[in-house]
């Protein structure tokens, strides 16, 4: 494994994204173009994406894309104005600066309001492990060779495979002509670069009646066992042939790690302070404060949900103004933290940094293997993954979705037959309170959001490390005509 701190690319592909020195030089060019007094702020985002996709055992798309955006904000005596460009020649940069200045003159009647927040503490000098040379330097030819090797076993068995490999890299720098920056500091932010690799594969039989899937993502390509994923998808497809229909109802379920992550998506997204919703307890008229369920037991005591930016298996980007230290949202079943902005943390909590949301997280597990879960199940279902999971229907996080790519009936401690897919109506809170067994947490597949490539925001890498679990009374409400 070759992982560096995010100091930027140093390879033959270094022109894919901008280096720290290139960002600094570009910002200085822009600062020099400003007319008159005032502050100039620049946000520079560059990204690269290399992908290869295939369907029906044939490559259908391959390519490398890259782009950049430069955001300019000019402060004048009457206000501020903004402009964007994706061109780096002198004429384009000057046009952007002039446009920002004209915008300030025409529309900048509202000056940036001074903040009452105290100065930020010194930035944490540690760099999260989010860069991998193995990801950044994987050449197009190697991607092609890898895909051919993934397709071959499925093709040899008369199966049809589809999937993709994707490599991402990006970088951002936020710089100000005034140091320290103006009243909305922090604006000066150290250069940060990141990588992310994704591999996903589906195998179906020729008649389209059976399907198997496997996938995983990581900032470090060397951590992804692509041949192992392909073998697992093929095995699942083979085992899911000739499915039978069962009656909907409440079943004991064994959720593989990907299914757990799919179920948890809405829960982790709600772990923020709010005046309504899942974690809102009520309004305290005496204190004039909204009360949350902090300190209350909300799930099984075996469950802890946390993250640590320095976790070498996770890969989480720092977020300016937010605490970079370890955060635990649910500690042995008790709600202990909720995401909140820095302004609230200063005003109400006596802290100078906010608490970030679990865009990436680790969930505790146990020591029970999936095979042992199966052996101890009298009657239940083994679930590969969940799909189509919608937004919660109510504050208890009841959500709807359906199973996909492999569902099997367990009877008297062994898998007896493949089962047609179910729709479900269930809450992750209910599942985490009906736990029977937990397995070892492992990384799962979570995609990179497009917004990470298009916007100057770096908080949307979403890695997750979760365990398989066994729970009783999972509510399957309908049969689904899907594979």
C-alpha span between 23 and 336 (Å, rounded): 40
Query: Token pair 């990907």 is at which residue?
Result: 258
Question: Regarding predicted confidence, which is higher, 187 or 347?
Answer: 347
Q: Report yes or no: 175 and 188 within 8 Å, Cβ to Cβ.
A: yes
Identify the helix (H) or strand (E) that includes residue 408: strand 399-411
Smallest Cα–Cα separation from 461: which of 233, 41, 135?
Answer: 135
Smallest Cα–Cα separation from 75: which of 202, 184, 218?
Answer: 184
C-alpha span between 28 and 315 (Å, rounded): 31
Most confident of 81-90, 205-214, 251-260: 251-260
Q: What confidence score (pLDDT) does residue 3 get?
A: 33
Q: What is the mean pLDDT of residues 326-339?
A: 95
SS3 241: coil
Q: Name the band, by pLDDT with cuts 50, 70 and 90, for residue 364.
A: very high
Q: What confidence score (pLDDT) does residue 297 get?
A: 97
Answer yes or no: is pLDDT of 452 > 80: no
CA distances in angstroms from 18 to 46, 116, 146, 382, listed in the order given = 6, 35, 28, 46
Which letter does DSSP use for residue 437 in this model? Answer: E
CA distances in angstroms from 431 to 251, 253, 264, listed in the order given = 11, 10, 10
Question: Regarding predicted confidence, which is higher, 449 or 455?
Answer: 449
Q: What is the mean pLDDT of residues 292-300?
A: 95
Q: Report yes or no: 405 and 213 within 8 Å, Cβ to Cβ.
A: yes
Q: Name the band, by pLDDT with cuts 50, 70 and 90, for residue 4.
A: very low
- How is the chain split into domains, by residue range? 3-148+169-196, 242-483
Which letter does DSSP use for residue 455 in this model? Answer: S
SS3 149: helix
Q: Name the band, by pLDDT with cuts 50, 70 and 90, for residue 414.
A: very high
C-alpha span between 186 and 352 (Å, rounded): 12
What is the chain's mean pLDDT, rounded? 88
Pick the CATH number of 3-148+169-196 from 3.90.550.10, 3.40.50.1820, 3.40.50.300, 3.30.2290.10: 3.30.2290.10
Q: Report yes or no: 326 and 124 within 8 Å, Cβ to Cβ.
A: no
For 154-171, letters b (16+ CB in 10 Å) and e give beeeebbbbbbbbbbbbb
* Alpha helix stretches (DSSP H) within 183-318: 226-239, 257-269
Answer yes or no: is pLDDT of 375 > 50: yes
What DSSP assignment string belongs to 82-121?
Answer: EEEES--SHHHHHHHHHHHHHHHHHH--SPPPPP-PPPPP
- Write the pLDDT tens digit of every residue in 159-207: 999 999 999 998 988 888 886 555 444 556 678 899 999 999 999 999 9
* Alpha helix stretches (DSSP H) within 73-211: 90-107, 133-136, 140-156
* Contact residues for 101 (Cβ-Cβ < 8 A; gap 6+): 34, 35, 36, 74, 76, 81
Parallel, antiparallel or unpaired: strands 249-255 and 379-387: parallel
Answer yes or no: is pLDDT of 242 > 90: yes
Q: What confidence score (pLDDT) does residue 115 get?
A: 58
Question: Considering the chain, what percentage of its residues have pLDDT values greater than 70?
Answer: 89
Q: What is the mean pLDDT of residues 69-92?
A: 91
Q: What is the mean pLDDT of residues 381-390?
A: 96
- Write the pLDDT tens digit of every residue in 141-165: 888 989 999 999 999 999 999 999 9
Q: Name the band, by pLDDT with cuts 50, 70 and 90, for residue 132.
A: very high
Smallest Cα–Cα separation from 48: which of 18, 24, 72, 70?
Answer: 18
pTM of this prediction?
Answer: 0.89
Interaxial angle between packed helices 20-33 and 90-107, expressed in degrees from 0 to 180 and rounded to the nearest 10: 60
C-alpha span between 328 and 324 (Å, rounded): 12
């Amino acid at each position: 494994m070759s992982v560096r701190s995010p100091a930027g690319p140093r390879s033959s592909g270094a022109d894919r994204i901008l280096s720290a020195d290139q960002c600094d030089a570009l910002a200085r060019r822009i600062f020099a173009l400003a007319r008159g007094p005032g502050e100039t702020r620049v946000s520079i985002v560059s990204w690269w994406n290399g992908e290869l996709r295939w369907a029906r055992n044939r490559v259908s798309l391959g390519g490398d894309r890259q782009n950049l955006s430069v955001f300019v904000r000019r402060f004048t005596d009457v206000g501020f104005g903004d402009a964007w460009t994706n061109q780096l020649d002198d004429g384009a940069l000057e046009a952007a600066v002039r446009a920002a200045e004209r915008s300030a003159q025409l529309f900048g009647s509202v000056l940036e309001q001074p903040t009452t927040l105290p100065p930020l503490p010194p930035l944490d000098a540690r760099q999260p492990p989010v860069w991998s040379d193995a990801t950044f330097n994987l050449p197009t030819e190697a991607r092609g060779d890898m895909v051919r090797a993934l397709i071959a076993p499925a093709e040899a068995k008369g199966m049809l495979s589809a999937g993709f490999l994707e490599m991402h890299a990006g970088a951002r720098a936020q710089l100000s002509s005034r140091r320290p920056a103006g009243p909305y500091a922090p604006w000066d932010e150290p250069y940060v670069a990141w990588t992310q690799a994704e591999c996903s594969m589906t195998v179906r039989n020729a008649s389209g009646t059976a399907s198997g899937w496997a996938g995983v993502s990581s900032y470090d390509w060397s951590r992804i066992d692509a041949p192992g994923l392909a073998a697992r998808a093929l095995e699942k497809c083979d085992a899911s042939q000739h499915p039978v229909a069962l009656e909907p109802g409440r079943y004991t379920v064994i959720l593989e790690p990907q299914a757990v992550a799919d179920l948890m998506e809405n829960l982790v997204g709600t772990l923020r302070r709010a005046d309504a919703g899942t974690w809102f307890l009520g309004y305290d008229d005496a204190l004039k404060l909204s009360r949350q369920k902090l300190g209350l037991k909300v799930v099984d005591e075996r469950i802890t949900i946390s993250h640590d930016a320095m976790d070498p298996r996770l890969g989480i980007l720092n977020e300016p103004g937010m605490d970079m230290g370890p955060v635990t949202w649910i500690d042995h079943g008790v709600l202990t933290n909720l995401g909140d902005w820095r302004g609230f943390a200063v005003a109400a909590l006596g802290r100078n940094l906010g608490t970030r949301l679990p865009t990436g997280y680790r969930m505790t597990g146990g020591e029970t293997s999936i095979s042992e879960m199966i052996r101890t199940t009298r009657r239940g279902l083994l679930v590969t993954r969940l799909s189509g999971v919608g937004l919660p229907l109510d504050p208890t996080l009841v959500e709807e979705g359906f199973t996909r790519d492999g569902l099997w009936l367990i009877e008297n401690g062994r898998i007896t037959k493949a089962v047609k897919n179910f729709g479900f109506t269930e809450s992750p809170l209910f599942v985490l309170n009906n736990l029977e067994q937990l397995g070892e947490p492992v990384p799962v597949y979570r995609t990179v959001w497009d917004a990470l490539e298009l916007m100057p925001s770096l908080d949307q890498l979403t890695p997750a490390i979760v365990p398989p679990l066994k729970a009783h009374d999972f509510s399957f409400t309908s049969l689904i005509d899907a594979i």
